[in-house]
Amino acid sequence: MSRTVYVNGDYLPEEEAKISIFDRGFLMADGVYEVTSVLGGKLIDFDGHAKRLERSLKELDMAAPVTMDELLAIHRELVAKNAIVDGAVYLQVTRGSAGDRDFAFPDPEKVPSSLVLFTQSKPGMAYDPKVQKGISVISIDDIRWGRRDIKTVQLLYPSMGKMMAKAAGADDAWMVEDGMVTEGTSNNAYIVKGGKIITRALSNDILHGITRAAVLRFAREAQMEVEERSFSIDEAKDADEAFITSASTFVMPVVKIDGAAVGEGKPGRVALRLREIYLDESCKAGI
Ligand code: PDD
């Protein structure tokens, strides 16, 4: 069934939505994005995603096309128009089209940024059967640029990483730089050792996951010990548990790294507990 999507002020059937071939998102990957999950018709962690979007725009000197209140209204309208119960809203802002190709940024007074949103329906996404088995990851070099804290649409290497994982018979890849895990191709990475949750500290090296922030907050509230520091693949293989977080997977256990079982090779107690708390609390707070 055709979706209703949003393009620069208009709600349109997806077949009618158009963006210029000169749009800098298309030509230069000059754009940022957010993925906000929807559970039971409610937006999960919308405030966090809106704040990160504002930060990404600011870091790239890109104008916000609408206010954050308007953005919330557009999200809600799309969820309603597409009758989304469980799924996601994808949002992308690009520096727009100056009508030609040029490396220099166009004057934002003359060239407005573009705003596109669409929904993805994923009924029952909170009950993903993969959670029962856990996922496997391979390790790959992190060869991305140095501003991974900005959520840009430059996703070629993460896509390649997912293809490398698929070719190796795994579900995803963890990226490694200077011997330490940065993050997953589209998620943050964690290990658990002796009850302690370990995940890389925030910096320009990783995306500041909105799910990460919520999960660490819930973990601390539940008196779980959290250590924000880097870890290597060898340390991860030797951990009791491993997991990832993102808006699309919530908390997902990782049971195998480069073919080696993590802990007992089954989803860990801490990961499953955090998933339960995250889903409960986020659904309650959904808007
Ligand atoms: N990806 N790290 C990277 C590189 C990501 O692309 C993502 C999100 C995350 C987790 O961030 P959050 O918890 O805010 O979703 C970490 C989204 C889901 C995507 O690209 O589809």
| Catalytic residue IDs | 151
| Domain regions of the chain by residue span | 4-123, 130-285
Q: What is the pTM of this model?
A: 0.97
Distance (Å, rounded) from C-alpha 73 to C-alpha 57?
19
User: What parts of the chain have a pLDDT lower than 50?
Assistant: none
Tokens 């050792």 belong to residue: 193
Distance (Å, rounded) from C-alpha 201 to C-alpha 160?
25
Please tell me the predicted confidence (pLDDT) of residue 76: 98
Pick the CATH number of 130-285 from 3.20.10.10, 3.50.50.60, 3.40.50.1980, 3.40.50.261: 3.20.10.10
CB count within 10 Å of CB 92 equals 18
Q: Domain 4-123: give its CATH code.
A: 3.30.470.10
Backbone angles phi, psi at 48, to 5 degrees: -60, -45
Whether the CB of 187 sits within 6 Å of ligand 1: yes
Strand, helix or coil for residue 160: helix
CB count within 10 Å of CB 163 equals 12
| Ligand 1 centroid to residue 46 C-alpha, Å | 14
Whether the CB of 209 sits within 6 Å of ligand 1: yes
Cβ atoms of residues 114 and 25 within 8 Å: yes
Of 185, 200, 205, nearest to 252 by C-alpha is 185
Backbone angles phi, psi at 13, to 5 degrees: -65, 145
Whether the CB of 136 sits within 6 Å of ligand 1: no
In this structure, which residue's CA is closest to atom 20 in ligand 1? 186
| Ligand 1 centroid to residue 53 C-alpha, Å | 12
Please tell me the predicted confidence (pLDDT) of residue 1: 75
- Give residues with Cβ within 8 angstroms of 282, minimum separation 6: 39, 44, 45, 214, 250
| Ligand 1 centroid to residue 262 C-alpha, Å | 23
Longest dimension (CA), the chain: 59
107 DSSP 8-state letter: P
Whether the CB of 183 sits within 6 Å of ligand 1: yes
Of 221, 202, 196, 209, nearest to 280 by C-alpha is 221
| Ligand 1 centroid to residue 200 C-alpha, Å | 15
